Structure 1
Amino acid sequence: MIAITNLSYFLGDRPLYEEASLHIKPKMKIGLIGLNGTGKSTLLRIINGEYQSDGGTISKSGDCTIGFLNQDLLSYQTDDSILSVAMQAFERQNVLQRQIDKILHEMEVNYYDELIDKLAKVQEEFEALDGYSIQSKAESILEGLGFSTDDLQKPLREFSGGWRMRVMLAKLLLQKPSLLMLDEPTNHLDLPSIQWVEKYIQSYEGAVIVVSHDREFLDNVVDNIVEVSGAKLNHYSGNYSFYLEEKALRNEIQRGAFENQQAKIRQTERFIERFKAKATKSRQVQSRVKSLARMEMVEEVLDENTKVHFRFQFTTQPGRHILHLDNVSKAYGDKVILNNSTISIERGDKIALIGANGKGKSTALRIVAGTEDVDGNRRLGHNVEFTFYAQHQLESLNLDHNLIEELKYANPTKTEASLRTVLGCFLFSGDEVFKKIRVLSGGEKSRVALAKVLLSQANFLLLDEPTNHLDMQSVNILIQALQQYEGSYIVVSHDRYFVESIANKIWFIEEQQIKEYPGTYEEYCIWMEDRAQNPAAEALVKKIADVKPEPKPRQDDESKARRNQLKKQVAELEEEITRLEKQKMDWEAKLALPEVYGDAARLSEANKEYGLTRQRLEKATEDWESAVEEAETLG
């Protein structure tokens, strides 16, 4: 369908591509990956004809059509409804619809046979092009991407950039081009919309090239990976997980070939150095010199899996309770976000706040931060110091600072060597640390802002979509940093791999309440599936909740009954704490066994069980403390 042969493209004297080749076949689903700045978006623009290559050829079949979703579309605005904009995809059908309307209008005053014949022909073509169902198709796709039925008639300009991008995506999907090119589509989609797009692309009849840092999205939709590396296009026949395995194998082979070649070069150079002055060996020396000159060099394998070795610390230890929201309510006009919602954050909580856009995730994060006016109580715990990261805060970076100066501003106690170490963790090395903020790309600014957050010595982090505009290597670095972080945090993110890697609790907003699932994202998904498949259980819970309470007993009887209940609860909790403490010690002993810590799978499972046991012990201890305190107040 499209053949890219010996493509070359230069930025100044730096080659983005040099004799790179790729063959795109019909129905291929390609994930285009690579570090930021390697030229992924540039390649899509070259294929689309926006940029001209410096060498090589791009051949397309005659019937090949291309649809390109890119970040430039964010700026498109119009007073037309979003349904009208999406239906612009049906160019021929729209032309025919206007002709039909014009003929019908003319027939109101001038009814003759030629006009009837003309109408019949136009309607026949319109029906052949499935024109009578184009509106329902457009509505279906827009609603799949998260728009409500009421939204469809609203002007495009009323929507934010991310929602406008969804409209343009809907238009492209309706056009059904031979090749659909999507540049970071998940940046502007919530989780339900991402899952809808995944299913759509899986069944899409044309070819697809998608640039994305969402590895689970790539695993679910692509069957080929093309990696931009070393100015080449390296092809892998599989999804992203297959690519990781195959690349590790290729790297191992290349590393062996490189080391063997280097050993041969050293041996040859020693021979040349030893015998270059001997006339009797001149022929052998010249032969070896020529063989070195002719040798096709094997490139050294560069380790792109950067490891974070910096320990992010804070000086002030918080109390046990980080924050408590008590009967918090928030509404914007008639739209209620939260209604008498109560929830707590404890020290050590690593929370991911997930869900569809418009449910109030960012509002909830601002409520936690104390920047949103609410009804109800917000209580911050003892010694809690927090910092807030969001995309708009990139604008607060001082453009005249270099990277060292900007991080020094965040934490004046750090030495330049320490700051260089931190910047190295976030992929800034050498003289790059003296770059001015103003010359950095969006992704680079995001990395600097995240480094500032982790250097701030805050013991509680609030992070709103921190992975947006980061490449996979940068996301991996952020995951490692958060896994090492000893404080508490709440993260809003739609990146499922990221959430699974960093969260031990899941928050979601449902029925105007912030609800909590006390486990990992994978466990949460299983729980949600079970809950969806067993609606009877949900109905029973609701029925029990709706039962009216019996009349209250007299105060004295109530106090006595409550004291007895607490006495029994304290005893049961003491037994539970004793059992869990023994269980915790057993897991600690297992983690110290060589056969466990030497086996990655067993170590991972043991760590998981140990973490769950520790959480249960902390919860039981907290419940015991609460019960004892209440019993003391009752005398």
Structure 2
Amino acid sequence: MISITNLSYYLGSRALYENASLHIKPGQKIGLIGLNGTGKSTLLRIIIGEYQPDGGTISKAGDVTIGFLNQDLLSYQTDDSILSVAMQAFERQNKLQAIIDDILHQMETNYTDDLIDKLGRAQEEFESLDGYTVQSRAEEILEGLGFSTADLQKPLRMFSGGWRMRVMLAKLLLQKPSLLMLDEPTNHLDLPSIQWVEKYIQTYEGAVIVVSHDREFLDNVIDVTVEVSGAKLNYYPGNYSFYLEEKALRNEIQKGAYENQQAKIRQTERFIERFKAKATKAKQAQSRVKMLEKMELVDDVIDENARVNFKFNFSTQPGRHILHLDDISKAYGEKRILTRADIRLERGDKVALIGANGRGKSTLLRIIAGSEPIEGERRLGHNVLFSFYAQHQLESLNVEDNMLEELKQANPEKSEGELRGVLGCFLFSGDDVFKKIKVLSGGEKSRVALAKVLLSQANFLLLDEPTNHLDMQSVNILIQALAQYEGTYVVVSHDRYFVSQIANKIWYIEDEQIKEYPGTYDEYEMWLEDRKESGVKSAFADNKPAPAPVAPKPVAAAAPSSDNDRKEWQKALKKANQVAEDAEGKISQLEARKGKLEAELADPSTYGDDKLMQAKNDEYHRLMNQIDQLQSQWESAMLEAEQLEAKLG
């Protein structure tokens, strides 16, 4: 359907892509993943033709249509109703409807055979395009995305950016392009809408490319994972969980290849250093120098799963009771959010507040923070100090400050080194810390704002959608930070994986009451779905290489006592040299096979077949064991030969 071949794209001197290739097949559901800044959104814009590549080709089938949901659509506004905007997807049907309406209007005063004929043709085409069902289809998708029936006739301009994005998504889904490209669609969806979109994409007939940091969403909708890394597009024939397993396996193979190559380099360098001055070995030493120069180096594995260690220092420890909400009522006009609701929060509670948008989750956070007028009583416990993170607070960052200056405001007692350490935990290093806030991306601003909250010495955190605009590595860092946080927090999030990692209690708003489930999100889901059985996760067998053989002890040096001894030593020297030569020849053959095997392991046709992958992996480990044994044998023989030469003088 679409073929990307040897794609190159540069930002200045930096290569986002260099000779990268990917083939998109009809009906594929692709998850495009990678760290922020690696070029995921750029690739989508290259595919749609908005950006021009610096090299390579992008070939598209003639009948391919592409729909692109991107963050730029947030700014679109109109006075048209959201139903009308969504129905713009039906361009031909709308045109035919206008023709039919015009003909019917003319026929009120001019009833002719020509008009009757035109009306018949228009109605026939309109019916063949399912024109009589387009409005009901649009209404179904809009309501699936969380709009009420009453909302459908309201102008788009009335809705916030997130809700406008849903309308744009509805329009794209109604167009049914042969390739649907979605850039972070879950950022603006609540949990019920995310689940609705999951089901829709699962049955979508066209191909889909999704950029998302939501691991569970990816697991539920994709069948192919493409990782943007090292300016390449790395293909994995499975969902995100499959990718994690395969990535770990590939990293293990690459790490093994790297360590074995480094061992061989060290061994060869020792040989060169030891024998370069000996006339009898100089030729062999020079041969190894050339071999090192021609060697194609294997890269070490880069650990992209950052491990962080936060040091949280509370200036005061709170009492046992953090918060009491008693008899709380809240309404916006006729819309009631809470009616005489109660809730308690104890020290050490890690609460995830979940549910559909419009139920009052953000309102409840503001009530807890004391910034929302209410009926009823809100009581904070003894020595409770809270800090509040929400997306709109990104605007409160001083755009002229650099990162260090901004964090210094949150905790003036911290040294520059300590602040740099915190920024390093959020993936800012070196001179990055001197960047002004105004030049940062949305995701980078989010990380700075989160760092400020964590530095604030608060013993109670309120976090409203903290994972929006964060990549998976940053989400992982936030999970680790919250795991090390000894205080109390309430987090609003629609990211199910994130919630499953950070919460020991679940709150949700139902029937205008705040309700609590006293367990993790996974337990809550099981309870909610009547303890639905979870699937069994497959895993590769653990293939650990056998221990390296112990090298034989070299012959002890001694002066020759007779001609017989000299003859025996000469014979032993010849044998040692022959053993070394034979081992070297066998190592060369096995190294050649290893190179082919590594290429086979990286071939999609191999890692797409679990049994074949396992067989190749087993062979690879056997091969590495044989190489290790032969290298030890070669080194022992060379040491023995050296000592025998010393004896013979």
Compute the displacement of 1:519 (Å): 1.0
Matches for 1:269-280 after TM superposition, within 5 Å: 269-274=269-274
> Are the aligned partners of 1:312 and 1:481 in contact in 2 as well (CA < 8 Å)?
no
User: Which position in structure 2 is the counterpart of 1:21?
Assistant: 21
Q: Secondary structure, in 3 states, of the residue corresponding to 2:529?
A: helix
Q: How does 1:459-498 map to 2 (within 5 A)?
A: 459-498=459-498
In the aligned structure 1, how far is the partner of 2:388 from the partner of 2:23? Answer: 45
State the Cα distance separating 1:422 from its structure 2 match. Answer: 1.6
Q: Check whether the contact 1:191–1:494 (CA below 8 A) recurs between aligned residues.
A: yes
Q: Equivalent residue for 1:453?
A: 453
Cα deviation, residue 407, structure 1:
1.7
- Give the counterpart letter for 2:438 in structure 1: R
Distance 1:150 1:362 in 2: 23
Count of residues paired in the alignment: 532
**Following the alignment from structure 1 to structure 2, what is the Cα–Cα distance between the partners of residues 371 and 272?**
74
- Please tell me the residue identity of whatever aligns with 1:24: I
CA deviation after TM superposition for structure 1 residue 285, in Å: 4.6
The answer as to 2:141 corresponding to 1:141 is yes
Which 10-residue stretch deviates more, 424-433 or 101-110? 424-433
Confirm or deny that 1:338 pairs with 2:318. no
Identity percentage over the alignment? 81
State the match for 2:187 in structure 1.
187
Tell me what 1:99 maps to: 99
CA distance in 2 between partners of 1:292 and 1:143 (Å): 65
Q: Distance in 1 between matches of 2:242 and 2:181?
A: 22
The worse-fitting range, judged by mean Cα deviation, of 512-521 and 378-387 is 512-521
2:344 aligned counterpart, secondary structure: strand
Unaligned runs of 5+ in 1: 533-635
Does the 8 Å contact 1:313/1:486 carry over to 2?
no
- The equivalences for 1:80-479 within 5 A come to 80-274=80-274, 283-479=283-479
Distance (whole Å) between structure 2 residues aligned to residue 110 and residue 153 of structure 1: 34
Question: 1:77 maps to which residue?
Answer: 77
| Residue equivalent to 1:625 | none
Q: 3-state SS of the aligned residue for 1:27? A: coil
Q: Separation in 2 of the partners of 1:407 and 1:245? A: 37
Larger radius of gyration: 2
Structure 2: 5+ residue runs without aligned partners?
A: 533-649
Q: 1:400 to 1:272 in 2, by over 3 A?
A: farther
Q: Give CA-to-partner distance per residue, 1:507-561, whole Å, 9 cap, x none.
A: 11111111111111122222223499xxxxxxxxxxxxxxxxxxxxxxxxxxxxx
Q: State the Cα distance separating 1:436 from its structure 2 match.
A: 2.3
> Could you tell me whether the CA contact under 8 Å between 1:90 and 1:175 is conserved in 2?
yes
Q: CA deviation at 1:371?
A: 0.3
Q: Which amino acid aligns with 1:191?
A: L
Instruction: Determine helix, strand or coil for the equivalent of 1:181.
Output: strand
How far 1:117 sits from its partner (Å)? 1.4
Q: Give CA-to-partner distance per residue, 1:184-222, whole Å, 9 cap, x none.
A: 000000000000000000000000000000000000000
Q: Which is worse superposed, 399-408 or 68-77?
A: 399-408
Aligned-pair CA distance for 1:90: 0.7
**What is the letter of the counterpart of residue 39 of structure 2?**
G
1:273 deviates by 4.6
Measured on the aligned residues, the alpha-carbon RMSD in Å equals: 1.6
SS in 1 for 2:235: strand
Amino acid paired to 1:197: V
Contact 1:313 1:485 survives alignment (8 Å)? no
Q: Larger deviation: 417-426 or 241-250?
A: 417-426
Q: State how far apart, in whole Å, the 1-side matches of 2:80 and 2:437 are.
A: 39
Equivalent residue letter for 1:390: A
TM-score (norm: length of structure 2): 0.80
> In structure 2, what is the Cα distance between the partners aligned to 1:37 and 1:70?
16
* Matched position secondary structure for 1:35: coil
**Which deviates further from its counterpart, 78-87 or 513-522?**
513-522
SS in 2 for 1:88: helix
- CA shift for structure 1 position 282: 5.7
User: What is the rounded CA distance, in whole Å, between the counterparts of 1:22 and 1:288 in structure 2?
Assistant: 39
Q: 1: distance between equivalents of 2:195 and 2:78?
A: 28
Counterpart CA distance in 1 for 2:125 and 2:412 is 72
Counterpart residue number, 1:503: 503
Give the Cα separation in 1 of the matches to 2:474 and 2:132.
47
Distance 1:29 1:486 in 2: 41
Deviations along 1:293-343, one digit per CA (max 9) or x if unpaired, are 332221110011111222323131101110111111111111111111111
Give the Cα–Cα distance (whole angstroms) in 2 for the partners of residues 285 and 5 of structure 1. 43
**For the residues of structure 1 that align with 2:20 and 2:260, how far apart are their CA atoms?**
27
Deviation at 1:394, TM superposition (A): 1.3
1:57 counterpart = 2:68: no
Q: Secondary structure at the match of 1:83?
A: helix
Cα displacement string for residues 432-466 of structure 1 (whole angstroms, at most 9, x for unaligned residues): 22322222211111111111111111000000000
CA distance in 1, matches of 2:450, 2:118: 64
- In 1: Cα distance, 2:351 partner to 2:336 partner: 23
What is the Cα deviation at residue 278 of structure 1?
6.2
For residue 163 of structure 1, what is the amino acid of its counterpart? Answer: W
Provide Cα deviations, 1:259-306, integer angstroms capped at 9, x if missing partner. 111222233344445555667656545533433333222111001111
Give the Cα–Cα distance (whole angstroms) in 2 for the partners of residues 201 and 192 of structure 1. 14
